[in-house]
Amino acid sequence: MPCRVKICGITNLEDALAACHDGADALGFVFYEKSPRYIDPVKANAIVSQLPPFVVPVALFVDASAEDIEAVVADNARWLIQFHGNESEQECLSYNRSYIKALRVKEGDDLQEAAQAYQSASAILLDAYKAGVPGGTGEVFNWSLIPEEMPLPVILAGGLTPDNVARAVEQVAPYAVDVSGGVEASKGIKNKLKVKQFISGAKREQ
């Protein structure tokens, strides 16, 4: 089965539609105000309402309040939530939505045990750990830390680019890959050629 692709850090309709055209399965919108890819909820919902069918919009939060999360997702039934902070499983479940839980990987972590704590998630996203930065670091972690057997589908993230994504898919065989900085022209703006190359690299027959 070809690897799915999520393009994260979408801030405008043009980038969103171009990524869909090139075969993105999911688009990520960052509702973390300290991120250079932050998007206003009203603007994000306007983009989501214009997406073609079968493309999943993903709302990314880092330890956000219930009020802030509801203000985004209440507007459209299509939203899937990505929790990228220290949210508990109970908190993730409280929105009655499908969700992804991000785990930031470092040497010595027991990833099977960490993922078991989020049995109700649709998938576990594995991203690079960097002290003081919740995500979108552009850093690659050591993929060999990922056990062959994981209790949930794995979304691989962290420093992926058009140059390394095919190798990542071959080595890790994840359910999906996720990219933010590796396909940008500048912070928050996508480079359309890089997006296209990334998607075709990820979906290439192994």
Ligand X SMILES: O=C(O)c1ccccc1N[C@@H]1O[C@H](COP(=O)(O)O)[C@@H](O)[C@H]1O
From 3, 8, 20, 92, the catalytic residue: 8
On whether the CB atoms of residues 122 and 98 are closer than 8 A, the answer is: yes
9 touches ligand X (CB under 6 A): yes
11 touches ligand X (CB under 6 A): no
Binding mask 39-58 for ligand X (x = CB under 6 A): --------------------
158 touches ligand X (CB under 6 A): yes
182 touches ligand X (CB under 6 A): yes
Stretch that binds ligand X, among 24-32, 66-74, 87-95, 108-116 (CB under 6 A): 24-32
62 touches ligand X (CB under 6 A): yes
At closest approach, how far in Å is the CB of 100 from ligand X?
9
On whether the CB atoms of residues 177 and 157 are closer than 8 A, the answer is: yes
Total site size for ligand X, rule CB under 6 A: 26
Nearer to ligand X, 51 or 162 (CB): 162
Query: How many residues does this entry show for the chain?
Result: 206
Nearest to 87 by CA among 75, 98, 100, 74: 100
For residue 176 the two structure tokens come to 């999906």
Nearer to ligand X, 28 or 162 (CB): 28
From 3, 25, 92, 127, the catalytic residue: 127
Burial class (CB in 10 A: 0-12, 13-18, 19+), 205: exposed
The secondary structure of 154-183 as a DSSP string is EEE-SS--TTTHHHHHHHH--SEEEESGGG
Distance CA 160, CA 182 (A): 6
The secondary structure of 96-113 as a DSSP string is -S-EEEEEEE-TT--HHH
Identify whether 127 is a catalytic site residue: yes
Identify whether 8 is a catalytic site residue: yes
Stretch that binds ligand X, among 32-40, 109-117, 142-150, 191-199 (CB under 6 A): 32-40
Nearest to 32 by CA among 11, 2, 53: 11
The catalytic residue positions are 8, 127
Residues of this chain that interact with ligand X (CB under 6 A) are 8-9, 28, 30, 32, 35, 37, 60, 62, 84, 125, 127, 134-138, 157-160, 178-182
